[in-house]
A = this chain, B = another copy of it.
Amino acid sequence: MNQACENSRIVGCSFSVHPMSDQFVTYIMDSLKEVDTSKVWLHTDDVTTTVRGRMEHVFDVTKAILLHIAKTGVHVAFQGTFSIGCPGDTSGDVYMDESSERLNETKVTGLRLLIAAKFSLYPMGGGDYMDTIYAQIEAMKSKGVEVSPAHYSTRLDGDTHDIFTGLEDVFRETEESGSSHTVMTVTVSANSPSHKETE
């Protein structure tokens, strides 16, 4: 698949981050101050935040927001729905003209943090969608993260960068395999007291 085609459709992510702290607003605002969102369309309301743009920037921004909160050590949950090819949503198409350079990678690349994540892939509109899902779960096993089955999802344990790279790869490969409308849900838990007990 060539670059022009790879970048031909806008990606969106509707997500929320939940620092489990009385100071949740401060954690979120401090993180947003550190994240460069200039290459994505961004809209926040009281339930979720939506970012839209080129695939690499949507993953770059969501990972950076999570990492800048998680680096503080607070227990934080992230829940995001990544979408491509959804009929009817066109906001932010102008952001497809941005260059591919990721604006936040340099700043977060030194932040190494083990997280637990669960993801589910939903290739819509096709009858052989389960084959696509199983193929992408297999592919995830080569991304340097621990992959295990979970209920209605696949569990990933590993470094935040490896997990987000794996998720972006899986999402891109599902799109490139011909799925006209792909949805991927991701739930992340960082700095959980449960993790600390088992480490």
| Residues of chain B with a CB closer than 8 A to A174's CB | none
- Distance between A177 CB and nearest chain B CB, rounded to angstroms: 16
Of A55-63, A102-110, A121-129, A161-169, the one touching chain B: A121-129
Give Cα distance in the complex from A162 to B45, angstroms. 22
Q: In which size bucket is the chain A interface?
A: 35 or more
Q: Which of B19, B122, B187 contacts A183 (CB 8 A)?
A: B122
Q: Does A141 contact B (CB under 8 A)?
A: no
Report if A14-B122 is in contact (Cβ < 8 Å); known contacts: A75-B24, A91-B151. Answer: no
CB–CB B77/A16 < 8 A: yes
Binary contact track A51-95/B, C-beta < 8 Å → 1, others 0: 010000000000000000000000101010101001101010000
Residue contact A21 to B18, C-beta cutoff 8 Å: no
Q: How far is the CA of A75 from the CA of B183 in the complex (A)?
A: 28
* Residues of chain B with a CB closer than 8 A to A86's CB: 152
Is there an interface contact between A24 and B20, defined as CB atoms closer than 8 Å? yes
User: Given A20-B24, A24-B75, do A14 and B152 touch, yes or no (CB 8 Å)?
Assistant: yes
* Of A12, A14, A48, most B-chain CB atoms within 10 Å: A48
Q: Does A120 contact B (CB under 8 A)?
A: yes
- Contact of A46 (CB < 8 Å), options: B22, B116, B152: B116
- Identify A152's interface contact among B24, B83, B187, B195, CB under 8 A: B83
CA A46 to CA B130, docked complex, whole Å: 27
CB-defined contacts of A195 to chain B, threshold 8 Å: 46
* A–B pairs, 21, beta carbons within 8 Å: A14-B150, A14-B151, A16-B79, A18-B18, A19-B20, A21-B21, A25-B193, A43-B151, A45-B194, A47-B150, A47-B188, A47-B189, A52-B151, A79-B187, A81-B152, A86-B152, A87-B130, A122-B122, A122-B124, A124-B129, A152-B183
